[in-house]
Structure formats: structure tokens, C-alpha cells
Amino acid sequence: MADAKVIPFDDDRSRGPARPGRRRSGPRRPASAAEPRQDAVARPATVLPPRQAGPAPEPGPARQDGEAGEPGGWERRLAGSLAFLRRRLTGEYEVDAFGYDAELTDQVLMSLLRPVYEKYFRVEVKGIENIPAEGGALIVANHSGTLPLDGLMLQVAVHDEHPAARHLRLLAADLVFMLPVVNELARKAGHTLACAEDAERLLDAGELVGVMPEGFKGLGKPFSERYKLQRFGRGGFVSTALRAGAPIVPCSIVGAEEIYPMVGNARTVARLLGFPYFPLTPTFPWLGPLGAVPLPTKWTIQFGEPIPTSGYAPEAADDPMLMFNLTDQVRERIQHTLYELLVRRRSVFF
């Protein structure tokens, strides 16, 4: 099998043009599919003669895009799938310097996550207009749910709900890149190690970067402390945003806390497995694999107004007091929005 072609992470080909809105039906093209091929041959437009006036045809049943009755509908899908498989087998696809595979993410990974996003968790998104249409920005969100499903749902929300269909590059803990299979999938989906150097390179390249500063402390906190933000570290994400001059977009996620109500932590088992915690929930591990199925809670993701950082001097990134104040400001906005969303929520599941 041929190796994939590696392109620079800031190559414009890794990002497709902005789309006017979200499409809920029909196949999705990868971001790079809108570019013209070099070997494409332009065809002259065909001018049809005016049609003679006649009786209007009787209305018939409407057809959906790609329906079997539509001429060429399933053939186009089959041809697209075969072309995708051919590129996979021959290595004729592109990845950036971080291992991000835009085509695989759009065609496969997003298609697998989308039913969970739309049908299972029924995610409602607010404030999507606060994410810039272009250029770098840092999205800072709360972290919870025992397993990091909130990061994946956040990635789908940004891509599917934003008018420009932007991709979110999540910063993940080193444990993610130590697990087999998970490591490869995370790289293909655009995730990278949570370090200042990688985050700054992505922001400088005009990418959307997502970070959840609570880390494992937020992900593995007990159910009794749900929706209470943990410490946001030392403000490293603020320093990165200041150096890149990128705005900070606070993000609040409601619904993830209840998918795995963590009522206990088997610390001995966690140490043996090398995990930061080993959750005990009302269903896991008592029901075996069935207990690992998350509860179908109703989610809400709200993006707050961006906090600009471009007005600060370059040396501001080394000012500990400024970093502390901005970190606290972001944390307070997220916490306040969480409380507002909880007050408005009618039910955990509806």
C-alpha cells in the first residue's frame, strides 16, 4: 500500500471553502472536494432552445436526493464510495503535519458520530455565530462525562452547525496517544497533543483549536460535583491565545455530566491499568458491556461572546497576573452560562 502524502499543516488545500449552511441529507463532500482537479477539462455550456408552450405536467410525488427512483442517485453514491476506497488502498490522500485526514474525517468519522449527535443526545447549539468564520480562535469548554464524548460532540457541533463548516482541532491528553487504535483515530480526526507549541502552530495557521482545561479532574469528578468547574490549570491556554493574537470563545456544555453518573472510583484498579481513575456507575461494571452504554440525555452546547486578545502587547503572554485574570474571566463566563442553562432545562432527558 502506498504511503499517504503529507502536506504542511497551513496549506490552504487542507481547508475547503465556506458552505452557506448545514445540509441534513445527502452525502457530504470532504472539504477538499470543492477544489478543481488539475487534470480537469473545462466543458462549454450547452445552450438549449426555448421550449414550446404546452400543458403543464401533472404533479407527481416528490423525490428525495439520492433516492433509488432518481436517475443516477445510487450510482453516484456507489461511484463515490468506490473512489474513496480506491484512494484509501492506493494511498492517494493527504494528511497534514499533525496527521489530520480531512477526507476520512468528513466521509467516515463524522458520519459515524452524526447519528449519536442528532438522534441520541439531540444536541441543541446556541451562539454558533460567536465562532469566527475564518482565522484562528481558541474554544475553551468545560469537561465532564467520565468518557470524553463531550469533545467529540463539540467537534460535530462546530462542523455541522457553523455556516463555514469549520473543523475543530482538539487538544488531547497524552493518554489518548498512548492507547492503540485510539491514537490513530485521534490523529486522523485532527486531534493533537495538548501542548503550547502545537496549539500555537495551529492558531497561527488560522485553525479553530479546542481545549478543555479541567482535564481529567473535570472528566472524572464524582456525580455529586456535577457542573461545578474544576481548576483551569495555570492559564497556559490564555498564554497561547495571547501569543497568537487569537480570540478566546467560552463554551458551556450541559448534558454530558449525566451520561455516566460516577458514584465511585476504584483507585486500585485505575493504578493497575495506568488510568487516572476507574469509574463506578449505577450500571458499570455491574451490567458488563451493557453498562458502558451512555444514558440518552439531552445536550445543549452554547458558545459565548469571544474575548479578544489581539490588543495586548507581545510581552503580555508572560504576565502572570494578566493570565490569571483572563483565565478567571473565561472560567466565570462558562460557569455562569452553565447555571443559566441548568435553570432553563426542563428535564435531563427532554
Mean pLDDT value across the chain: 83
pLDDT confidence of residue 47: 37
Query: Does 280 score more than 80 pLDDT?
Result: yes
Hey, what domains does the chain have and what are their CATH numbers? 102-259+294-344 (3.40.1130.10)
CB 307 within 8 A of CB 330: yes
Q: For 204-233, what is each residue's pLDDT tens digit?
A: 999 999 999 999 999 999 999 999 999 998
CB 112 within 8 A of CB 27: no
Best mean pLDDT range from 53-57, 88-92, 273-277, 337-341: 337-341
Mean pLDDT of 221-248: 93
pLDDT confidence of residue 85: 87
Of the ranges 30-39, 79-88, 192-201, 218-227, which one carries the lowest mean pLDDT score? 30-39
Give backbone dihedrals phi and psi of 193, rounded to 5 degrees, phi first.
Answer: -65, 140
Which of 120, 137, 152 lies closest to 199, judged by CA? 137
Choose between 34 and 319: higher pLDDT: 319
pLDDT confidence of residue 72: 64
Which of 314, 308, 330, 194 lies closest to 243, judged by CA? 314
Mean pLDDT of 27-53: 39
pLDDT confidence of residue 68: 43
Query: Does 140 score more than 90 pLDDT?
Result: yes
The pTM for the full model equals 0.78
Grid cell at residue 115: 447519528
Mean pLDDT of 312-318: 87
Q: For 68-126, what is each residue's pLDDT tens digit?
A: 445 567 888 888 888 888 888 888 889 999 999 999 999 999 999 999 999 999 999 99
Kindly report each contact of residues 336-340 with a partner whose C-beta sits within 8 Å and lies 24 or more positions away, as own/partner. 337/250, 337/252, 337/302, 337/304, 338/142, 338/227, 338/229, 338/252, 338/254, 339/227
Mean pLDDT of 4-29: 43
Mean pLDDT of 250-262: 97
Choose between 31 and 164: higher pLDDT: 164
Mean pLDDT of 268-278: 94
**Reported confidence tier of residue 1, pLDDT bands at 50, 70, 90:** very low
pLDDT confidence of residue 314: 80
pLDDT confidence of residue 322: 92
Query: Does 133 score more than 60 pLDDT?
Result: yes
- Percent of the chain residues past pLDDT 70, beyond the cut: 79
pLDDT confidence of residue 7: 44
- Percent of the chain residues past pLDDT 90, beyond the cut: 68
pLDDT confidence of residue 63: 38
Mean pLDDT of 159-184: 94
Grid cell at residue 57: 405536467
